[in-house]
Amino acid sequence: MVTAPPPPGPRSDRPAHVADLLRLLTREPGRPRLTWYGDDGERVELSGAVLENWVNKTTNLLVEEFDAGPGARVVLDLPVHWRTIVWALAAWRVGATVVLVAAEEDRTTDEGTTRPDVVVTTRPGSWHGTRAELVAVSLPALARRFDGDLPAGAIDAASAVMTYGDQVGWVPVVDLRSTAVETVSGSLLRHDELVRPSRGGGRVLLESPDPGAPVERASDVLVAAVGTWCAEGSVVLVSAAAGDALVASPDRARRLVDGEGVTDLPERFRAGDTA
């Protein structure tokens, strides 16, 4: 099941929704809030201001192109990546439900399970015949267009997102009791359960699950990132392959932990005495 952070103690400034969370992240606009390490050594760092800007643009795309709002189902057919986090935050910003799917499944056969309104995917060809709106995502940071064939009517996120406004325009009112996260196995988490502090306000290392891992693990990583930010912390996210490489090389892992100022990391990294 999707794991919710523990209920927090009373705090008047605790964010109630993703919009509040984004305001919290920009109190220190230049502070790193999300740092990504990819399979090929790619490192991307997003400050609070830059992360908010990406989310704002993506939010505007969802509203202006698809009228996304409460009740809309936004399927993220993506590995856990910094771009995935941006799309999830934008979907939650408009009150939509993020539906997570396993990477290895055949997308053409399960629309009865996912019931998508919008599909955000790195493999648009796998959604051939869908009646949902389709967004094709290129994961590399410097991508300016989708590197592949686009189905008719699909939007190329690499070129489209940057054309939208830096400030959020009109967005619908969010129903905090509605579902924020759903997996194809049926696990659910509401919007009012999502935005809760889960860790101290340090620098937390999170790892993208292997492609074959249960989809709930992807949900847990997204929720852990939100919980870290609610506690005024920051996230270092590594891909599954990058995580394996760090575990195999304790010296390399130690350099990353020390260089990024990581204060909290998964147990399998601790086993290599990287803390």
Tell me the CATH number at 53: 3.40.50.12780
Angular region, 121: left φ>0, alpha ψ -120 to 50, beta rest: beta
More confident residue, 31 or 104: 31
d(CA 267, CA 246): 13
For residue 113, the model assigns a pLDDT of 74
pLDDT digits (tens, 9 = 90+) for 195-220: 999 866 799 999 999 988 999 999 99
For residue 107, the model assigns a pLDDT of 56
For residue 272, the model assigns a pLDDT of 52
In a domain, 275, yes or no: no
In a domain, 4, yes or no: no
In a domain, 145, yes or no: yes
For residue 106, the model assigns a pLDDT of 53
| Residue 8 phi, psi (nearest 5) | -80, 165
CB burial readout 173-212, b (16+ within 10 A) else e: ebebeebbbbbbeebebbbbbbbbbbbeeebbbbbbbeee
pLDDT digits (tens, 9 = 90+) for 106-134: 555 456 678 899 999 999 999 988 999 99
pLDDT of residue 247 exceeding 80, the answer is yes
In a domain, 9, yes or no: no
Q: How confident is the model at residue 8 (pLDDT cuts 50, 70, 90)?
A: very low
Say if CB 15 and CB 195 are below 8 A apart: yes
In a domain, 6, yes or no: no
Q: How many domains does the chain have?
A: 1
In a domain, 12, yes or no: no
For residue 82, the enclosing domain spans: 18-270
pLDDT digits (tens, 9 = 90+) for 146-190: 999 999 999 999 999 999 999 999 999 999 999 999 987 788 999
In a domain, 166, yes or no: yes
Q: Which residues contact 229 (CB under 8 A, 6 or more apart)?
A: 21, 24, 25, 33, 235
d(CA 36, CA 42): 8
For residue 3, the model assigns a pLDDT of 58
For residue 12, the model assigns a pLDDT of 47
In a domain, 104, yes or no: yes
